Each structure stands twice: as structure tokens, then as C-alpha cells.
Structure 1
Amino acid sequence: MFDKGEMVFYKNIGVCKVVDITKLDFAMDEDQKYYVMESVFKNGVNYVPVGAGIENIRNIISKEEAENLIDMIPKIEAEAILDLATKEMTEYYEEKINSGDPLDILKLTLSIDKKKEILAEEKKKFGAIDDNYLKKAIDMLFEEIAAAVGIEKEKMPQYIKDRTGYKFTE
């Protein structure tokens, strides 16, 4: 169970703050309690039944875990996935995103970024599907790390570059 005021990672949504745990007037089950979670970096409120859907919520990583994750970037040998059909590539991206695991999302981010770099060098077009998943993965990753280390999400690219020397492909 999560407490009011806690920062959590809600799978596919991102970092949220538990602002209340309450019964809802508009719920079908009047006795069911809900987490009322405000998205920290986006507009929106999510209502999640306490006890149900809990597999989609976890505590955000600690500052130390976030820093360790960033420090892994130069050590990860990202492989660009260039040979998958669109359907298989989409399924692969979805699996990694849906895992909600920060390391999986980091590896996916670096893999798609590597693909973007290779295609740019070859003067080839970077696909819309790749671009959408790269943005989604970066968004999820930057949200959680920013919340963990206590900086603004917009400052994450520079924070990562200063810490590791890694610069995301533009």
C-alpha cells in the first residue's frame, strides 16, 4: 500500500504523487478505496483502486539508483534494431515500455537512439514508430530520474551529458 504524499511510478503514465486515498462518489462499489494520483510532469489525475491494478504501480527509484542508472549509460552497448518488421518492432518496443523497468527503458532508449544515429549517418529516414517510442521511452526515463534526483525534467539531457558525456541524437 502507498501512502498519501508518496511519489510513485504508474506504468505507462509516469511519475505520480498520491494526493489522497479515498472512496469515490461516482464509483460503482461505494466501499472501494482509490488512490488519487496526480501526474507530476503532465496534466491529469488517475484513480486506481487500492488493491487492484497494484502491479502497475511501484515506488520511484531512489536518488542513488537513479544516479547508478545514469552512470551505466557509457557501459551499455546499445544495439540498433534495424532488421525487424514493423509489427515485431512495435511488439518489442511495447514489451520494454510496458515492463516499467527503468533499466529496460534505458536500454530501449539507447537502442532506438543508436538506430537514429545510424540512419542519420546513412542519410536514411528515421521512422515515425521509432520516433514515437523514443519520445515515450525518454519521457518515462527522464520523469523518473528527474523526480528521484530532484531536478527539472527539461534539464535531464544536460544532466546526463555532464555526468556521462552521452548526448542524445537530435
Structure 2
Amino acid sequence: MYSIGEVVLYGSNGVCEITEITTKKIGKDSIEYYVLKPVCSDSSTLFVPTQNEMLVSRMRVVLSSDEIKDILSQKTDNEIWIDNKAERCEKIKEIISGGDCMKLVELIRRMHFHSKLQLKKGRRLHITDERFLKEAEKMVCDEVSVVLHIDRNDVLPLVLAG
């Protein structure tokens, strides 16, 4: 169970603060919700039913400063790329929905490496890959900027340095 004031990563919505835990009556049922406010954007308030295991599983407390620094210091084997588009999309969806910062950082690094290779051939990343890359970058950049207290625009160079 999470508490009011905790800062969590909630899937691709990024870093959010739990501003309250409230109960809303829907029909005859009373349902308890976590009320999440995104920290890095002014987007709408999110309501996550506390009893919905699938949705709550998309929430996790943000990492510590030391955990972030450890992840950023690790090297990534950028050569690993899944050529089959359908397989790649499934794997990327799995990584993004899992919200594991280390896997997201590895994904971002690999996709940037692959993008550079494509540019050398006069090509670009597939539009689907670009969309996934932006989503992964948002999740990581939001979390790293909040935890390390640095500007969001300074995060991607740190991620790609590994």
C-alpha cells in the first residue's frame, strides 16, 4: 500500500506524486483510489483503483539517487537489435510496461545506437520505434531529473554516455 506524499513512477505517465487516497461512489459500489498528479507535466490527474492489481502493479516508488547513478554508470551492449519488427515491438512494449529503469536505459541506448546506424545508411528509425523511444525517454528522463534534481534536458546526455 502506498501513502500520500510518495513519489512513484506510473507506467508511461511518468513520475507522479500521490496527493490523496480517496473513495468514490460509483453506482452502489465505493471504490478507493490513489490520486496521482504528474510531477513533470501539467497533465490531468490520474485515479488508480487501489484494489486493481494490474493498474497498481504499474506503480513503483522512484529509485534512490545511488540506484540511478549505478544504472547510468553501467555499460550497454548496443549491438543487440531485434530485426523482426513484430518481435521488437512486443519486446519494447514489455520493457516499457515493466517500467524497469535499467531495461529502459538499455533500450534507449540501443535505439539511439541503431538510429545512428540507420542515419549512416540514409534511413531513419521506423515511426513505431521513434514513438517507443520517446515514451522510454520520457519515463527515464522524468525519474532521473526528479531524483537527481537536475534539469530534464540534461538527462539524456547522461543516459547516452553509458
Shorter-chain TM-score bucket reads: 0.7 to 0.9
Q: Tell me, in whole angstroms, the C-alpha distance in 2 between the residues paired with 1:92 and 1:116.
A: 18
Which residue does the alignment assign to 2:161? 166
CA displacement at 1:82 relative to structure 2: 5.7
Deviation readout 1:114-134 (Å, 9 max, x if unpaired): 110111122223221111111
CA displacement at 1:81 relative to structure 2: 1.9
Which residue does the alignment assign to 2:128? 129
Q: Tell me, in whole angstroms, the C-alpha distance in 2 between the residues paired with 1:94 and 1:111.
A: 15
Deviation readout 1:118-160 (Å, 9 max, x if unpaired): 11122223221111111111111111111111222122135x1
Identity %: 23
Deviation readout 1:74-130 (Å, 9 max, x if unpaired): x2121252621x322211211111111111111111111111011112222322111
Q: Tell me, in whole angstroms, the C-alpha distance in 2 between the residues paired with 1:28 and 1:113.
A: 49
Q: Which amino acid aligns with 1:9?
A: L
Q: Are the aligned partners of 2:137 and 2:156 in contact in 1 as well (CA < 8 Å)?
A: no
Q: TM-score, normalised by structure 1?
A: 0.84
Which residue does the alignment assign to 1:10? 10
Which residue does the alignment assign to 1:94? 93
Gaps of 5+ in 1: none
Gaps of 5+ in 2: none
Q: Tell me, in whole angstroms, the C-alpha distance in 2 between the residues paired with 1:30 and 1:40.
A: 30
| 2:122 alignment partner, SS class | coil
Number of matched residues?
A: 159
Q: Which amino acid aligns with 1:57?
A: M
Which residue does the alignment assign to 2:65? 63
Change (3 A) 1:4 1:127: same
Change (3 A) 1:154 1:90: same
Which residue does the alignment assign to 1:21? 21
| 2:46 alignment partner, SS class | strand
Q: Tell me, in whole angstroms, the C-alpha distance in 2 between the residues paired with 1:142 and 1:13.
A: 12
Q: Tell me, in whole angstroms, the C-alpha distance in 1 between the residues paired with 2:64 and 2:78.
A: 24
Calculate the aligned-residue CA RMSD, in Å. 2.0
Q: Tell me, in whole angstroms, the C-alpha distance in 2 between the residues paired with 1:80 and 1:136.
A: 20
